[in-house]
Structure 1
Amino acid sequence: MDVITFGESMVQFNPAKTGPLRYVHQFDKTVGGAESNVAIALARLGHQVKWVSRLGDDDFGLYIRNFIRGEGVDTSSVTFDPVYPTGIFFKERYNASDPKVYYYRSGSAASQLEQAQLKESDIIAARFLHITGITPALSPTCRELIYYAIEVAKKNNVMVVFDPNIRLKLWSENEAREVLMDIASKCDIVLPGIEEGRLLTNEITPEKIAERFIQNGAGTVVVKLGAQGAFCHSQDIKEYIEGFKIEHVVDTVGAGDGFAAGFISGLLRGWSYRDAVVLGNRVGASAVTVTGDVEGYPYWSKIAPDHSEEILR
């Protein structure tokens, strides 16, 4: 197995028109969740990925499991909770490409995730463990699960990739900073967005943000800069890498997860950090061309039609 990841996915409702939700009467239903977004994008890029979660024993839960499984992701460790429901969320659109998001996830089945659900053997079998800062905010048991997974991975030389993915609707800024910086200190690779980096480190520039994470214990840091690309700080390079240009941006949600997937895919292929960032930029950019989180992620055959990895170099 190439990658294992875990966390909450919810049913996502996209409005059929722009404006306040009180005037919207039709929605398109799809799936959204940072970790499953990464899993789906990686599967499309040709990798073996396992996603672990807890869903409500309801039709929404079945829909999410079937959707993600249908994308080629291993969902064999997903369980269904008979008491707690599957979470949902709504997007609200105006003319901007950044929609407002309304979550209905309090007391969801995923918040009941616990250590017993994540098998040590599954973590050991993977080359990469991907985690986000959303999961530890869901509940105390979810937070314990994050630390358990990191501990197992580190003991068994499994590379840990951490995307802070801050959700301040779930906890306070101070608590988020304390917990997420502690988690980051234990990870091999940290992938903060520029605003997340500023919040967590109190630094302004990508260089200073990356340096702060490195001093805190992280091995490699890639600061995501949206359309401008990314800044990579590793043992080999300290470099700004230009973004992939998109003429018309529809919805920015899912771009960061696409970047993470593309970046991990590059590393799985044995590429340098710089080349992995280039691929991350390309996959992340593809996400912003559609309204759904995962619908825009490309298949490897689309990125490299002749199956040559030199196409991105």
Structure 2
Amino acid sequence: MQSNSKVDVVTLGESMVLFQPIGEKGVKYESLFTKSLAGAESNVSIGLTRLGKKVRWVSKLGKDPFGDFILSTLAGEGVEVSQVIRDEHLPTAVYFKETKSYGDPTVYYYRKNSAASHIHPSDVSMDWLVGAKHLHVTGITPALSESAAAAVRRTMELAKEMGLTISLDPNLRRKLWSEEEARKVLLSLIPLCDVFLPGLEEAEVLVGPQSMEEYGEKFLKMGAKVVALKLGAEGSIGFIEGETVNAAPHVVHQVIDTVGAGDAFAAGFLSVFLDEQDAMTPSSLEKALSRANILGALATQFKGDWEGIPTVDELNALETGKLEVKR
């Protein structure tokens, strides 16, 4: 399927159908579940679209009702899905999320041998990237299979050749691969990215215990032009050559669901980076981090991966102090 439309961002990765228990009994005993869309890259796609950017999401889906649901949901949010590959023989992945009154939600993946896990470098096409300015990928897709990891690398290399900037969120998922495997692959991808978006724990997994300043210095030396280190309730810290910028957290009083917060952070950061990337200054870095902190915090206020991401008008009201957050 051809697409000649211009987009700001291309994202590549697996999306799944998410089932969550309606009641408080948990996955084991609950008989009723809600159905929605989930996936790091599609979360970022929806977030950026709501913030006024044009986004193309690329993946491989089964030719099944779940795949139809994912496409219709993304298209309904304004995300371009013209380059998605459909596979008649492999299924669309699903997963279940169990929210408890303490700690992070527990997730149960059913994505082995999914259509997206079989994406291959031979699937990668210039058509994915035509008309785009930026590519966003995460460490989840390379964790799915060796062919998926190779496809991500090939897409990043092609994006470089075509003059796109690239962002990488490690998005470490220990249920998908070991820390050793993750470290090897992710460290090899950092030199291909312009923006690196690790969390503090992920940074430690990649290069061992360091100070935050040492993390920034190391990742910049590996090739990233901008590093945004997520610090959770402590806000975030950003690094460009010769400069370090701290951004205070956006305070919320109750955390409902942490899943998707990092993706919302990425969408917020990239929405500023895309406008400022030709001359990323300390002031523009601070703006990007502050917006990212707001979106990351808001994502924890909703039981869903992306439903709580604000529109650009809502965000503007928040940034100017004209909208009170009550949840």
TM-score using structure 2 length:
0.90
AA of the residue aligned to 2:14: E
Give the alignment of 1:62-141 within 5 angstroms.
62-96=68-102, 98-141=104-147
Separation of aligned partners in 2, 1:286 and 1:27: 24
Give the alignment of 1:45-56 within 5 angstroms.
45-56=51-62
Q: How many residues align?
A: 309
Give the alignment of 1:5-16 within 5 angstroms.
5-16=11-22
Are residues 1:285 and 2:297 paired? yes
Give the alignment of 1:164-175 within 5 angstroms.
164-175=170-181
Are residues 1:17 and 2:12 paired? no
TM-score using structure 1 length:
0.94
Separation of aligned partners in 1, 2:231 and 2:24: 27
Give the alignment of 1:225-264 within 5 angstroms.
225-235=231-241, 237-264=243-270
Separation of aligned partners in 2, 1:145 and 1:208: 31
AA of the residue aligned to 2:48: L
Q: 1:297 aligns with which of 274, 287, 309?
A: 309
Identical counterparts, % of pairs: 42
Shift of 1:116: 4.1
Shift of 1:114: 2.3
Separation of aligned partners in 1, 2:154 and 2:91: 25
1:206 corresponding residue in structure 2: 212
2:165 corresponding residue in structure 1: 159
Shift of 1:276: 0.9
- Alignment RMSD (CA, Å): 1.8
| CA shift digits 1:71-97 (9 cap, x unpaired) | 000001112211110111111122125
| CA shift digits 1:225-269 (9 cap, x unpaired) | 112111101125212211111122110100100010010001123
Q: 2:227 aligns with which of 210, 215, 221?
A: 221
Shift of 1:124: 4.5
Shift of 1:6: 0.8
1:194 corresponding residue in structure 2: 200
Q: 2:149 aligns with which of 128, 143, 148?
A: 143
Separation of aligned partners in 2, 1:89 and 1:204: 34
- Contact kept in structure 2, 1:191 and 1:224, CA below 8 Å: yes
Q: 1:221 to 1:232 in 2, by over 3 A?
A: same
After TM superposition, the runs of 4+ consecutive aligned structure 1 residues lying more than 4 A away are none
SS of residue matched to 2:268 = helix
- Contact kept in structure 2, 1:60 and 1:86, CA below 8 Å: yes
2:324 corresponding residue in structure 1: none
Separation of aligned partners in 1, 2:160 and 2:298: 32
| Structure 1 residue ranges without an equivalent (≥5) | none
